[in-house]
Structure 1
Amino acid sequence: MAKAFASTNDMEDKKISFTEVGRDLYAFTAEGDPNTGVIIGDDSVMIIDAQATPRLANMVVEKVRSVTDKPISHVVLTHYHAVRVLGASAYGASQVIMSEKARSMVVERGQEDWDSEFGRFPRLFQGHESIPGLTWPTTTFNKRMSVYLGKRRVDLMHLGRAHTAGDIVAYVGDENVMFTGDIVEYHSACYCGDGHFHDWPKTIEAIRSWDVDAIAPGRGDALVGKEMVNAALDNTSDFVRSTYLPAARVALRGGSLKEAWDAVRAECDPKFGDYAIYEHCLPFNVSRAYDEALDVDTPRIWTAERDLDMWNKLQG
């Protein structure tokens, strides 16, 4: 029997947690749904990743208001994916920040990504009628920039390609805490459909070199303490490699995408089969791994039509 497409059967509300990962630093998490970070400065608040709709973003705002009445001045978007960015208008921030590469990806594929993700995640797009349109940054940068919330400094950095070509992290040095977006996950499948498998482990090692005390990952529980941080870094790298290598071996000997799918399942199912959104991600991951092995450097744009065609070929 064919599996229901992507996450269309996942309609149960998730339990929300709001975990302090450092002084005045929080991770809004919901059992494998997209996370949001909160950085409270001396005079204002920065949000890291906005959620998919203003309705969901308002749930973050409610948690923020439980700990501070300072205004939300900045929204930082770690990459361009619709489930991360389309709720940005709810925060009323004067500054919306992306990497320059992420903005270019909104130009190139933002509407297609919105249409694609809308079909994949119906629960996350409840209240989609209130989305005013594509989210555009007011400020972009290439490698690094610093934002000051009073005396509290937040360093925004592009450490390398991983989940997308334009990923950034946010580092708060006074507490040695990093917000990584989907470069790092915890007991949730990595979505690799727009990823760069060769670069991703190197980018994780760049994060490891900061020796942080806590990470707010893209999905899954907040990672507090170096032991938990390093375990998550190791696990994410293992997921990426375990997906890519079997698919690449098949592609490079001239095998089919379906053969690559079978090889990746054999490697990954025993280790990651119970992770959040695993079955959802796997066809997209295998398709991208197969392409990258054949030197397709820029991920092909996912459309709602391409999603369903690929799903029926692999999960059907």
Structure 2
Amino acid sequence: MNTKTFASAADLDIKKVSFDKLSDHAYAYTAEGDPNTGIIIGDDAVMVIDTQATPVMAQDVIRRIREVTDKPIKYVTLSHYHAVRVLGASAYQPEQIIASQDTYDLIVERGEFDKASEIGRFPRLFQNVESVPEGLTWPTITFTGKMTLWLGKLEVQILQLGRGHTKGDTVVWLPQEKILFSGDLVEFDATPYAGDAYFKDWPQTLDAIAALQPEKLVPGRGAALQTPEQVQAGLAGTRAFISDLYESVQAGAAAGQDLRTVYEATFAKLQPKYGQWVIFNHCMPFDVTRAYDEATQYPDPRIWTAERDVAMWQSLEG
């Protein structure tokens, strides 16, 4: 393989933002496969789900929220701990930042490493990174399993349906409107990043999402899914990618092949079906490395550091 530029360091194209109304209470801020933000407008307050990567980038979300409501943004909910999802939080000046206890624990354990790693991998996603305040984004409310907030008469359920993209994955569900904000448990026409994933658990977690029967869904990346058919397609595509990748890696590991051999075989196997998805080349080395770990000797994801990122990239793509 020819040497590719490390991760997405060469990805500099600015993406076009869409701000889609899903209901009177729900909006999706999406940008052609860049990380999405969800917005819930209750009777008395606004909740933002995932913050964008920096406070400067979050200002664009706030500007669009202000075009449709002047209610205060009281809540930020984090679908998981990744820097690209949480470092913009300070811009909203929320009263509360909500996350699962598992997400809190991951921030304690690996937040600083993850921040350095992500900024190095994908500089474009951290526009005006100097606007990020010192330190990390810390939740002020944590929960385990399920938490319900009432924004006036609007019921907002914050749920942990299982591990998948990370140990702490959290979805936000509007049961009255059948609208789900999935974070990176579901992607659409965008490659799932699985460097911190639980491959064996992820399909069951997708089953738990499907069991809610969402009619609309805001994925972690990709366009908002606005019909039950589109939602099913998003769930099916994510499930197929996770299953195909893990099956290939598991077979290679069971045959005693080394990581690079497994990587090259899995890349070749998946590229015809998924190669056109956003950030496929970026995700594959991280995804296969994690899958190989899980199939061999690491039930829990190892911490990615900036150094480990580069070493892994060189061994697989160098």
- Same fold by TM (over 0.5)? yes
Residue identity in the other structure for 1:98: A
CA distance in 1, matches of 2:184, 2:317: 24
CA distance in 1, matches of 2:150, 2:55: 26
Residue identity in the other structure for 1:32: G
Q: Does 1:18 align with 2:28?
A: no
Q: Secondary structure at the match of 1:224?
A: coil
Q: Does 1:53 align with 2:39?
A: no
- RMSD over aligned CA atoms reads 0.8
1:42-61 per-position Cα deviation (integer Å, ceiling 9, x unaligned): 01100000111001111110
Tell me how far 1:267 sits from its aligned partner: 1.8
Residue identity in the other structure for 1:113: D
Pairing partner for 1:289 from 277, 288, 291? 291
CA distance in 2, matches of 1:118, 1:138: 24
Instruction: Give the equivalent residue in structure 1 for 2:4.
Output: 3
Pairing partner for 2:147 from 125, 145, 148? 145
Q: Which aligned pairs between 1:236-315 and structure 2 lie closer than 5 A?
A: 236-315=238-317
Residue identity in the other structure for 2:97: V
1:217-241 per-position Cα deviation (integer Å, ceiling 9, x unaligned): 0000000111000011010000001
1:273-293 per-position Cα deviation (integer Å, ceiling 9, x unaligned): 011011000000000000000
Q: Secondary structure at the match of 2:118?
A: helix
CA distance in 1, matches of 2:269, 2:210: 25
1:202-225 per-position Cα deviation (integer Å, ceiling 9, x unaligned): 000100001111000000000011
CA distance in 2, matches of 1:266, 1:8: 23
Instruction: Give the equivalent residue in structure 1 for 2:209.
Output: 207
Tell me how far 1:20 sits from its aligned partner: 1.3
CA distance in 1, matches of 2:199, 2:21: 31
Contact kept in structure 2, 1:185 and 1:217, CA below 8 Å: yes
Q: Does 1:218 align with 2:220?
A: yes
CA distance in 2, matches of 1:25, 1:186: 19
Q: Secondary structure at the match of 1:66?
A: helix
Q: Does 1:91 align with 2:92?
A: yes
Q: Does 1:27 align with 2:32?
A: no
TM-score by length of 1: 0.99
Structure 1 unaligned spans of 5+: none
Q: Secondary structure at the match of 1:182?
A: strand
Which ranges of 4 or more aligned residues in structure 1 deviate by more than 6 Å?
none
CA distance in 2, matches of 1:22, 1:198: 34
Instruction: Give the equivalent residue in structure 1 for 2:107.
Output: 106
Instruction: Give the equivalent residue in structure 2 for 1:124.
Output: 125
| Count, aligned residues | 316
Contact kept in structure 2, 1:21 and 1:216, CA below 8 Å: no
Q: Secondary structure at the match of 1:188?
A: coil
Instruction: Give the equivalent residue in structure 2 for 1:78.
Output: 79
Tell me how far 1:3 sits from its aligned partner: 0.5
Tell me how far 1:12 sits from its aligned partner: 1.3
CA distance in 2, matches of 1:125, 1:48: 18
1:119-171 per-position Cα deviation (integer Å, ceiling 9, x unaligned): 01111112111211200000000100001111111000100000000001000
Residue identity in the other structure for 1:161: R
TM-score by length of 2: 0.98
Instruction: Give the equivalent residue in structure 2 for 1:134.
Output: 136
Q: Which aligned pairs between 1:148-227 and structure 2 lie closer than 5 A?
A: 148-227=150-229
Q: Secondary structure at the match of 2:273?
A: helix
CA distance in 2, matches of 1:226, 1:28: 19
1:245-276 per-position Cα deviation (integer Å, ceiling 9, x unaligned): 11111112211001110221122100110110
CA distance in 2, matches of 1:23, 1:207: 22
Tell me how far 1:94 sits from its aligned partner: 0.4
Which deviates more from structure 2 when the two are superposed, residues 153-162 or residues 257-266? 257-266
Q: Secondary structure at the match of 1:140?
A: strand
CA distance in 1, matches of 2:243, 2:268: 14
Q: Secondary structure at the match of 1:184?
A: strand
Q: Secondary structure at the match of 2:187?
A: coil
CA distance in 1, matches of 2:3, 2:297: 31
Q: Secondary structure at the match of 1:93?
A: coil
CA distance in 2, matches of 1:23, 1:223: 16
Tell me how far 1:242 sits from its aligned partner: 1.1
Which deviates more from structure 2 when the two are superposed, residues 26-35 or residues 122-131? 122-131
Which deviates more from structure 2 when the two are superposed, residues 245-254 or residues 31-40? 245-254
